Structure 1
Amino acid sequence: MKDVMKAYIYREAGGPEVIEVQQREAPAAGPGEVLIKTAAFGLNRADVQQRRGVYPPPPGASDIPGLEVSGTIAALGEGVTGWNLGDRVAALLAGGGYAQYVNVAQELLIRMPEDLSFTDAAALPEVAATVVSNLFLEGGLRQGQSLLVHGGAGGIGSMAIQLAKAAGATVYVTASSAEKLEYCARLGADAGINYKDEDILERVKELTSGRGVDLILDVVGAKYLQLNLKALAVGGRLVVIGLQQGAKAELNLGLLLAKRARIIGTTLRARPLPEKSEIIRETVRRVLPLLSAGKLELNVSKTYDFSELARAHEYFDSGAHTGKIVIKV
């Protein structure tokens, strides 16, 4: 008889009401994979976009949502080296995290520091890998440069502020309230812009003495395309990682050429394993020393039990959260 587990799926596109729990056959660890007994998983915007029907899983990925977990290794597949049963790990996934067990390639594991809780570890892989890949591997952020992060108070923004400051950058953020901007400032942001009350472009010009910023990390998409291009410095880079407010917009190519700017669009979930492996290695190199030194907050602001997943999605949809939401299994 096959082992069974509880897992969540979306029965159709929609709101939190489409989330339902099922009994599923537990996965097995294939060659080069480990099986993780899940202790906790993070809730990410990508999960919500998948639930809404606008971000389907890539070919071959599980229909079970969930892009990051923490837990212990319950089984080793053929050819796995350097890992043992019972090892405490976090993992980056293409799907399958909303379940009691998940299988993952050994290259996408992160060994948990001994003093890190499963709850905090579950908040690490997706946001850290996203930020490291887009700020440093794609965006080329260096010491002394300036960064503008849209949505600075969310999970991605919280991590981006801290890693950029650790790299010696100046960090500006946008957010929807004074409270969220205060939160960003506590994490190290040099200045904040309340996009509901302030003109973002004018404020960026003021903060940079008219020069503009070297790098923008954008989750908004089409609505901010022209604004972002105008806010870049000469030689600046715009990295678009989300389409919260549209996928299509007109582009002023003359301004792009005049600024010698670059627009970079990326996703993490559908990348091939070798690319993800490189990102995980760079994430471990940059992030774990900061964690060990007590210089990085994982910012888990809210936790829910496994049975409360729909409530967690409702809270995410409210827009009230800062930092990360984690579900304990």
Structure 2
Amino acid sequence: MKGLFCRLSDSEEVKFVIQETDVPTTIGNHQVKVQVKGCALSPVDIKLYNDLKLQRDTVPVGREIVGTVRQVGPKVTFFQPDDEVVGILPLDTEVSGLCNTVLIHEQLLVPKPEKVSWVSAAGAVRDGLRAYTALHTLAHMAVGQTLLVLDGASPFGVLAIQLAHYHGVKVLATAHSPDDLKFLEQLRPSVGTRESLLARVIGVWDAKVDLVETCLEETGGLGVDIVIDAGVKLYDEEPESQQKQQLPHKHDIITLLGVGGHWVTMEDNLQLDPPDTHSLFLKAASLSFLNDEVWTASAAREGRYLHILRDVMEKLSTGTFRPLVEEPVPLYEATVSMEMVQKKQTI
């Protein structure tokens, strides 16, 4: 059957191809055979595969799947045939989520609520997991705190905003364009008081807007309790692309962080100088790295991982989570769509 794969050329250029692949016919004791109904396309982190020594000639693409159980192994206890399930294929999987059927361990799946669509379930499972990891596992979010979400109009940013507001957190967010700002200002909860989800939207594309000054103004000079970045600038003289221009400097984040605050970063190459760490020390602040792949790359805390996935699906079914998803595309358009996703030209 056909699947989507990533191929790395000698020039380090990433290419996506649809090719035939063999799916194992023998089902393991704890494996589940799932007929795939939908699959999300997320950027492939080639560096992570290399770091974990998982690099092969081709890397399967499309790991967030949703579908129907067709067969279960002899020792499977969580599922029965015809159950609707959602999950994320592990990093070392050899099959693409775009295959008609996949074999996956039962402890990597959770039930899909009946009222949640295939598209919403597949599109929200990874960003929902990432939002939970950032706010609950790493930042220990609590009622009454203040959160700054950088690039709030991104798919991940939207779910982080919705999750934080649900738990009584005051949310600030940055917008990278006037369209993003308008979109964020119109965010409302699906139920309850129709107030905005955001206390303030900060348009960082405008050179007149000072991120640090705005955040300190909103918090009475105390600083924010939690910051979730979408990447940072490390040096003032760093060559800037259009996308890099709107990223905050690491010094700005440290400055606007309050006493006892938590900085959750997606910057895997973050470099802090002694003055930076001294500032964090004076504020008794903490720094955490957001890598949502640790849940499937490690056998630790599987129960917590499944609990998070179940809660993401529950919040989808109740309307607390309303993800940003594009229109579904057929398999034959998957290579073009994946190239755009990899270059961050679409979501």
State the TM-score, normalizing by the size of structure 1: 0.85
Q: Which residue of 1 aligns with 2:217?
A: 206
Cα 1:259–1:71 change in 2 (3 A) is same
Q: Is the counterpart of residue 268 in structure 1 residue 268 in structure 2?
A: no
- Letter in structure 2 aligned against 1:284: R
Q: Is the counterpart of residue 26 in structure 1 residue 23 in structure 2?
A: yes
Q: Which residue of 2 aligns with 1:226?
A: 251
Q: Which residue of 1 aligns with 2:113?
A: 113
Secondary structure of the equivalent of 2:140? coil
Work out the CA distance in 2 between the residues paired with 1:212 and 1:24: 52
Displacement of 1:318 in angstroms is 6.3
Cα 1:260–1:17 change in 2 (3 A) is closer
Residue 191 of structure 1: which of 193, 200, 213 is its match?
200
Q: Is the counterpart of residue 308 in structure 1 residue 313 in structure 2?
A: no
State the TM-score, normalizing by the size of structure 2: 0.81
Q: Which residue of 2 aligns with 1:255?
A: 279
Work out the CA distance in 2 between the residues paired with 1:160 and 1:248: 25
Describe how 1:109-188 pairs up with structure 2 within 5 A: 109-187=109-187, 188=197
Q: Which residue of 1 aligns with 2:40?
A: 42
Q: Is the counterpart of residue 71 in structure 1 residue 67 in structure 2?
A: yes
Displacement of 1:242 in angstroms is 4.2
Cα-to-partner distance string for 1:97-129 (whole Å, 9 max, x where unaligned):
343333322122121111221111111221111
Does the aligned pair in 1 maintain the 2:175–2:201 contact within 8 Å? yes
Q: Is the counterpart of residue 93 in structure 1 residue 89 in structure 2?
A: yes
Which structure: greater strand fraction? 1
Cα-to-partner distance string for 1:6-62 (whole Å, 9 max, x where unaligned):
1111121689971001100014543322122211111224x2xx3xx3332745699
Secondary structure of the equivalent of 2:181? helix
Does the aligned pair in 2 maintain the 1:222–1:248 contact within 8 Å? no
Comparing 251-260 and 62-71, the one that deviates more: 62-71
- Letter in structure 2 aligned against 1:191: R
Does the aligned pair in 2 maintain the 1:133–1:279 contact within 8 Å? no
Comparing 95-104 and 262-271, the one that deviates more: 95-104
Does the aligned pair in 1 maintain the 2:121–2:313 contact within 8 Å? no
Displacement of 1:303 in angstroms is 2.5
Work out the CA distance in 1 between the residues paired with 2:38 and 2:101: 11
Secondary structure of the equivalent of 2:214? helix
Does the aligned pair in 1 maintain the 2:18–2:335 contact within 8 Å? no
Work out the CA distance in 2 between the residues paired with 1:278 and 1:44: 23
Q: Is the counterpart of residue 9 in structure 1 residue 5 in structure 2?
A: yes
Work out the CA distance in 1 between the residues paired with 2:181 and 2:339: 23
Work out the CA distance in 1 between the residues paired with 2:264 and 2:86: 26
Cα 1:55–1:185 change in 2 (3 A) is farther
Q: Which runs of 5+ in 1 are unaligned?
A: none
Q: Which residue of 1 aligns with 2:315?
A: 290
Displacement of 1:301 in angstroms is 3.1
Secondary structure of the equivalent of 2:254? helix
Work out the CA distance in 2 between the residues paired with 1:87 and 1:268: 26
Q: Which has the larger radius of gyration?
A: 2
Work out the CA distance in 1 between the residues paired with 2:218 and 2:199: 10
- Letter in structure 2 aligned against 1:275: R
Work out the CA distance in 2 between the residues paired with 1:276 and 1:16: 35
Q: Which residue of 1 aligns with 2:103?
A: 103
How many residues were matched structurally?
A: 310
Cα 1:202–1:99 change in 2 (3 A) is farther
Between the aligned residues of both structures, percent identity stands at: 24
Q: Which runs of 5+ in 2 are unaligned?
A: 188-196, 235-248
- Letter in structure 1 aligned against 2:273: E
Does the aligned pair in 2 maintain the 1:213–1:231 contact within 8 Å? yes
- Letter in structure 2 aligned against 1:301: E
Provide the aligned C-alpha RMSD in A: 2.5
- Letter in structure 2 aligned against 1:204: C
Work out the CA distance in 1 between the residues paired with 2:123 and 2:20: 25
Displacement of 1:183 in angstroms is 2.0
Work out the CA distance in 1 between the residues paired with 2:7 and 2:53: 18
Cα 1:229–1:193 change in 2 (3 A) is same
Work out the CA distance in 2 between the residues paired with 1:108 and 1:225: 36
